[in-house]
Amino acid sequence: MRLLILGAGATGGYYGGRLVKAGADVTFLVRPARAEALRRDGLRIESGKGDVATPVATVTRDAISAPYDAVLLSCKAYDLEAAIGAITPAVGSNTLILPLLNGMKHIDALDTAFGAERVLGGTCHISVTLTPDGVIRHFSPFDALTLGPRFPAQTGRCKELHGILASGGFEARYSDAIIRSMWEKWVLLATLAGMTCLMRGNIGEIVATKGGAQQINDFLDECCATANAAGAAPRDEAVTMTRGVLTDPSSTMSASMRRDLERGARIEADHILGDLLSRAAASGVPTPLLATAYRHTQIYQNRLPENT
């Protein structure tokens, strides 16, 4: 199975690099400058689970000559429109698209562009960044990637793709309830991003304040209620795990959205917080904390140079 990965940034580069090291047929769709850097330096990963330094195959958009069997998409939500244009030449009648974006809004856009029958469900739990010198740095022991079919007809080829991903040395999970898995990740991430951006602190710092842990739990309850109203109620064990992670007094965890906000970069607030808020409003679910957190990020977004 020929796999194309859009970009060789933090997330796609991490999973793709490990797959290349394991012998999978992987090509990275990159811009010319990144292609040249990868030719010169190879793809480099620094991780507690083992470093990787390997040459990789690359292609630029104008050089794609035939469809791929599967395309892995891990761009930022605000780059989705450009990403769809970039991968279009690589998508044929039998191509599977595996998106690893957060939330659910991207699914509608991909279905419209390529047909729902080609678009799998997917999510990941990983903390990585791309350093200025091109190294992919993995921060935590977690590197799970979950995929699954959205329709029964996708099951066979989705399992085939899972078999390839499972050879990569990271945690590859197959889910027959992938939409629920995606919502569980969204609920966790929206709470983490909303609270750490709003408070400008990590989880441990928030929990150390009077009422901090309770506010995190209240925020999580709003997100869970929204998922329930959408027919994607998180499993009890997933909610219990999330509460524990997000109220751990020793935790230094913070959302990547907060890191992006503090360095003046674009953020995925509309996709992670705004879309969840819209779904809550449509279902009549009260979400005062989610609304406050989204307004906070909107003020930041409105101050960015491209919006002033």
Give residue 141's pLDDT: 84
Give residue 282's pLDDT: 97
CA neighbor of 11 nearest in space, from 142, 175, 200? 142
CB 122 within 8 A of CB 185: no
Give residue 308's pLDDT: 67
Q: Quick check: pTM over 0.75?
A: yes
Give residue 264's pLDDT: 94
Domains of the chain: 3-176 (3.40.50.720), 180-307 (1.10.1040.10)
Whether the predicted pLDDT of 299 surpasses 80: yes
Residue positions annotated with a catalytic role? 185
Close Cβ partners of 56 (under 8 Å, ≥ 6 residues apart): 8, 16, 17, 20, 26, 27, 28, 38, 42, 43
Give residue 127's pLDDT: 87
Average pLDDT over residues 133-155: 94
For 179-193, write each residue's pLDDT tens digit: 999 999 999 999 999
Whether the predicted pLDDT of 215 surpasses 90: yes
Give residue 150's pLDDT: 97
Average pLDDT over residues 283-293: 98
Q: Calculate the CA 66 to chain-centre distance.
A: 27
- The β-bridge partners of 29 are 6, 59
For 161-170, write each residue's pLDDT tens digit: 999 999 999 9
Whether the predicted pLDDT of 261 surpasses 90: yes
Task: Please give the helix or strand (H or E) that residue 125 lies within, else none.
Answer: strand 121-130
Whether the predicted pLDDT of 22 surpasses 70: yes
